[in-house]
């Protein structure tokens, strides 16, 4: 093996070792995130509800599931790593090697004066290139810090129940979802003004905007009748409620009080002086 080829393979091996390290950091980061999510959502509760015949204890299922999913995510993220052309990366870092390294590598099995001279020249130039130059050290440090942060976060969440969603809420949501899927929460028949099926105990109050509901086969507007209070039942209202008969306008010419409809015509026959006298008499009487 020529000297330049030995140096080239050493650089390439170091580069892919760093890429594997990044893969491991991503795997740990994704595992921490997924495990924290499973802990927050109380994944063990759903596993217990499912009552599955599992070969391992339920407490090991969340971390194992997190690791498997993280492994898949990491593989997808780094699936193109093996196809990275290290030769081009080296030539980019060392422009003096541009095309020379590829030519020497393509003719690595040949031996003549020209090829041997090229290999020697490339070998000298490769002495100034290392695998650390091909992959930024700051990128590795940043990735390492992010991984440490997520590991610490997952450890804190797993040991602090206050970050977990209460089992009561999850159980209520699970029950509602189960009832919805099985149809157990569906009701038939008319409903009353408070949104309860007729014949069932309701709240007796309407807190939301009036809506259209079906009562005994008729669609009505659930509007509160003025003065009835929040405990009013729409079914008790008369169909003619609020249909008042408007009285006739009181004549503006009536100047005195206690004048019946029958005396109105007589009053209108009075003179202006008599009307003024009656008016004054009414005012004085109102002061007593």
In terms of C-beta density within 10 A (0-12 exposed, 13-18 middle, 19 or more buried), how is residue 100 classed? Answer: middle
Segment of 114-123, 234-243, 245-254 carrying the highest mean pLDDT: 114-123
215 shares a domain with 105: no
107 shares a domain with 223: no
Domain assignment present for residue 178? The answer is no
In the chain, count H helices and then E strands. Answer: 11, 2
Q: Give the pLDDT mean for 16-34.
A: 94
199 shares a domain with 163: no
Q: Give the pLDDT mean for 150-160.
A: 92
Final residue in a domain of this structure, among 140, 169, 198: 169
Domain assignment present for residue 177? The answer is no
Final residue in a domain of this structure, among 169, 197, 214: 169
Q: Is the pLDDT of residue 273 over 60?
A: yes
Q: What is the pLDDT of residues 158-185, one digit of tens each?
A: 888 888 887 777 666 656 666 666 666 5
State the residue range of the domain holding 224.
189-243
Q: Is the pLDDT of residue 15 over 60?
A: yes
Final residue in a domain of this structure, among 115, 136, 169: 169
222 shares a domain with 274: no
Q: Is the pLDDT of residue 215 over 70?
A: no
Q: Is the pLDDT of residue 140 over 80?
A: yes
238 shares a domain with 202: yes
- Mean pLDDT across the chain, nearest whole number? 76
Q: Given pLDDT bands bounded at 50, 70 and 90, which one contains residue 206? A: very low
* pLDDT for 26: 95
Instruction: Domain count for the chain, please give it.
Output: 3
- Between these two residues, 1 and 150, which has the higher pLDDT value? 150
227 shares a domain with 256: no
Domain assignment present for residue 19? The answer is yes
The whole-model pTM stands at 0.56
Domain assignment present for residue 288? The answer is yes
198 shares a domain with 279: no
120 shares a domain with 22: yes
Q: Find all residues with CB under 8 Å of 185, minimum gap 6, and list them.
A: 176, 179
Domain assignment present for residue 182? The answer is no
Q: Find all residues with CB under 8 Å of 52, minimum gap 6, and list them.
A: none
Q: What is the pLDDT of residues 77-127, one digit of tens each?
A: 999 888 899 999 999 888 888 899 999 888 888 888 888 898 888 888 888
Distances (CA, A) of 59 to 67, 68, 113, 156: 14, 15, 68, 17
Domain assignment present for residue 181? The answer is no
Residue 108 CA, chain-centre distance (Å), reads 58
Give the Cβ contact number of residue 105 at 10 Å: 15
What is d(CA 115, CA 103) in angstroms, rounded to the nearest whole number? 9
38 shares a domain with 113: yes
135 shares a domain with 74: yes
141 shares a domain with 67: yes
Q: Give the pLDDT mean for 213-236.
A: 55
Domain assignment present for residue 175? The answer is no
Q: Given pLDDT bands bounded at 50, 70 and 90, which one contains residue 150? A: very high
Domain assignment present for residue 270? The answer is yes
158 shares a domain with 262: no
What is d(CA 134, CA 214) in angstroms, rounded to the nearest whole number? 74
């Amino acid at each position: 093996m020529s000297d330049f080829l030995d140096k080239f393979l050493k650089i390439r091996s170091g580069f892919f070792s760093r890429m594997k390290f990044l893969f491991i950091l991503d795997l740990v980061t994704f595992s921490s995130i997924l495990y924290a999510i499973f802990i927050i959502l109380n994944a063990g509760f759903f596993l217990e509800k499912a009552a599955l015949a599992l070969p391992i204890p339920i407490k090991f299922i969340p971390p194992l599931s997190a690791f498997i999913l993280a492994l898949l995510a990491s593989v997808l993220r780094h699936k193109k790593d093996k196809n990275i052309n290290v030769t081009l990366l080296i030539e980019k870092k060392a422009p003096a090697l541009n095309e020379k390294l590829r030519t020497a590598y393509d003719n690595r099995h040949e031996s003549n004066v020209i090829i041997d001279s090229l290999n020697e020249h490339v070998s000298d130039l490769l002495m100034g290139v290392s695998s650390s130059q091909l992959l930024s050290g700051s990128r590795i440090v940043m990735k390492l810090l992010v991984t440490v942060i997520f590991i610490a976060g997952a450890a804190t969440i797993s040991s602090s129940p206050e970050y977990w969603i209460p089992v009561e809420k999850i159980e209520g949501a699970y029950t509602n979802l189960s009832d919805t899927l099985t149809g157990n929460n569906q009701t038939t028949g008319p409903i009353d003004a408070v949104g309860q099926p007729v014949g069932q105990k309701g709240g007796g109050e309407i807190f939301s905007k009036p809506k259209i509901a079906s009562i005994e086969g008729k669609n009505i507007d659930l509007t509160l009748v003025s003065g009835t209070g929040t405990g009013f039942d729409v079914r008790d209202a008369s169909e003619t409620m609020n249909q008042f008969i408007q009285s006739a306008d009181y004549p503006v010419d009536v100047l005195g009080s206690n004048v019946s409809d029958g005396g109105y015509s007589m009053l209108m026959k009075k003179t202006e002086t008599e009307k003024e006298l009656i008016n004054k008499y009414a005012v004085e009487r109102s002061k007593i």
